[in-house]
Amino acid sequence: MRTARKGSVEMPAFVRQLVKETEKRVSSFFRGGRGGAAEGETPGDGDREEAVPSPYLDRPVLDKATEDGCGRWGVTYALGSMQGWRANMEDFHNCVPQLGGPLADWSFFAVFDGHAGSAVAQYCSQQLLGHILSTGGVGPEDDPGKVKAGLVTGFLQTDRHLLAAAQREGWERGGTTAVAALVSPRRIYFANCGDSRAVLCRSGRVCFSTEDHKPYHPLERERVESAGGSVCVQRINGSLAVSRALGDFSYKAAGDRSPSQQMVSPEPEVSAVERSAADEFLVLACDGVWDAIGNEDLCAFIHNRLRVCTDLRDVCCQVIDLCLYKGSLDNISIILLCFPGAPQLSADALHQEAELEDLLESKVAEIYDELCARGEEPDLLSVLTVLASSAIPGLPPGGGIQSKRNCIISAYYQQRETRKPTVPNGLGDA
């Protein structure tokens, strides 16, 4: 039986206030100054800017969707996702902590990062696992060769069925990357198609990570060019930023080539890793995470957060905030799967965390006083700028000052509230 709990977590009001206060300074930057067109679209020319809708919002959507649950063998998981600066939410996921029947000890998790629409990502999130299981390669005997072949065939079958749906529904331009983990009692099977990524942390270090499929990588470029395409500005035909994906059928039209030989291949790269008692956690995430933080830093950050937080949903939300504050402009989705060897709550770590937050609050107060003494307006951005240039001991590894911005913002508004001028008695009634 699958055990799961779903919920919703909203960004605190003071962060919304931060976005409102800084909107004029950053909106033009995020709309057109960075990132160009959405993934899968050709960036527009300057004289067409008014005619092409921006892929970015004037302010990010900060509401988060979360989910958590558990399976057998002490495996627990959580999901967090947020639309962010993108005009639309195109990420989907699938979390199945227990497959049931003879595979009751197996789990399946996947993240789908759609482009040129969300329909393909949604379809694949609902269909991929069924196609993988229908191959018969996944069985309780846990034969690595059969399981890996089943994963590959499942992806290819999903893409074939997707083509019929795309022709019927008009999804030919849409596509999605996919990264999946199939966890058995003995092994973890990884299947990656595109630039979403999976990372396994063991003994506090990155033990394994999938490789992104980008058009400019030599083997990927060779396939693209052999199928009649080109790689320009690191994109296929100057447009698509990934070289493997489900969907994207306008890039799969070479009639003399197999599906895996097309400009965009639906074939995943599959790996099997033996499980270990030292396994701590597994992360599956879209490129909205990996564009902002590297494998080792994310591993270090989550390792640290698990020692001060027992709610995996909250850990996922902290990762999302960190990526947003580090400049991610994309949808952000992350699945965190923890094994029995994951770091546990630590009294020492909690004490250090409390000391760090006390230090940050005192630093904010000092900076506020200094700015006031110089006759300057102690606005939030000024406080953040000064604090970012200060040496702060004890910051979460991999996260840095960005990982404590919520604490800093809260401390700033507390200072502003306590220093608000009071109205003399009687004047308020005049």
Rounded mean pLDDT, 118-122: 97
pLDDT digits (tens, 9 = 90+) for 91-115: 999 999 999 899 999 999 999 999 9
pLDDT digits (tens, 9 = 90+) for 231-272: 999 999 999 999 999 999 999 999 999 999 999 999 999 999
- What is the distance, to the nearest Å, from the Cα of residue 236 to the centroid of all Cα atoms in its chain? 23
List Cβ neighbours of 258 (8 Å cut-off, separation of 6 or more).
Answer: none
- The Cα–Cα gap between 263 and 162 comes to 17
Please name the fold of domain 3-338.
Phosphatase 2c; domain 1 (3.60.40)
% the chain with pLDDT above 70: 86
Rounded mean pLDDT, 24-49: 41
- 9: helix, strand or coil: strand
User: With bands split at pLDDT 50, 70 and 90, how would you rate the model's confidence at 157?
Assistant: very high
Token representation of residue 287: 């490129």
User: With bands split at pLDDT 50, 70 and 90, how would you rate the model's confidence at 123?
Assistant: very high
Residue 263: the pLDDT is 98
Residue 61: the pLDDT is 97
Rounded mean pLDDT, 145-168: 96
pLDDT digits (tens, 9 = 90+) for 65-94: 999 999 888 899 999 999 999 999 999 999
pLDDT of 23 above 80: no
Arithmetic mean of pLDDT over the chain? 89
| Higher pLDDT among residues 43 and 104, named by residue | 104
Mutual orientation of helices 405-418 and 380-388 as an angle, nearest 10°? 130
pLDDT of 45 above 50: no
Please say whether the dihedral angle defined by the alpha carbons of residues 289, 330, 238 and 155, taken in this order, is positive or negative: positive
Instruction: Identify the weakest region by mean pLDDT among 212-221, 277-286, 377-386.
Output: 377-386
Token representation of residue 403: 């990982």
pLDDT digits (tens, 9 = 90+) for 219-228: 999 999 999 9
User: With bands split at pLDDT 50, 70 and 90, how would you rate the model's confidence at 20?
Assistant: very low
pLDDT of 21 above 50: no
Rounded mean pLDDT, 27-33: 39
Rounded mean pLDDT, 364-388: 92
pLDDT of 4 above 60: no
Domain ranges of the chain: 3-338, 347-418
Rounded mean pLDDT, 120-125: 98
pLDDT of 146 above 50: yes
Farthest-apart Cα atoms in the chain, separation: 87
Please name the fold of domain 347-418.
Arc Repressor Mutant, subunit A (1.10.10)
